[in-house]
């Protein structure tokens, strides 16, 4: 299971672009990189997933360099409602049956 490292917290202002970087030096060949968002007292919500290069959806973009040892979640023009914990997950547990969460990055957006 690839260990991930991401900042504990980040601060931003409304309208700014936020980039959260996650390092995963021992990512395995078949591992995908998945990002979840969690608001207080709610379940984690899937944001985006990728394997290599760039993935974009209506919510975010995910940039993955060629060596795949890190990834960057990009949130364009954040608003107050983007204040949440963001988790970077890489691979699964040994049995391949479950995602394992780390501590995540707490993003605080101010006006």
**What are 19's two structure tokens?**
């980039």
Closest approach, Cβ 42 to other proteins, in A, equals: 6
For the bound state, the minimum distance from the C-beta of residue 61 to other proteins, rounded and expressed in Å, comes to 17
Residues 107 and 84 sit within 8 Å (Cβ to Cβ): yes
Site residues for other proteins per CB under 8 A: 30-32, 34, 38, 41-46, 49, 51, 87, 91-93, 95-104
Residue 42 or 111: the one with the smaller Cβ distance to other proteins is 42
Q: Is 82 helix (H, G, I), strand (E, B) or coil?
A: helix
d(CA 99, CA 20): 20
Q: In this complex, which beta carbon is closest to other proteins, that of residue 41 or of residue 111?
A: 41
Rounded to the nearest whole angstrom, what is the least distance from the CB of residue 13 to other proteins in the complex? 26
What 3-state DSSP class applies to 81?
Answer: helix
């Amino acid at each position: 299971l690839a260990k991930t490292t991401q900042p504990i917290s980040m601060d931003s202002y409304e309208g700014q672009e936020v980039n959260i970087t996650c390092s995963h030096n021992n990512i395995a060949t078949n591992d995908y990189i998945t990002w979840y968002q969690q608001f207080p007292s709610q379940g984690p919500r899937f944001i985006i997933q990728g394997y290599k290069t760039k993935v974009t959806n209506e919510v975010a973009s995910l940039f993955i360099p060629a060596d795949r040892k890190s990834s960057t979640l990009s949130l364009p023009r954040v608003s107050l409602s983007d204040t949440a914990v963001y988790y970077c997950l890489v691979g699964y547990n040994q049995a391949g049956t479950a995602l394992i969460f780390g501590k995540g990055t707490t993003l605080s957006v101010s006006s």
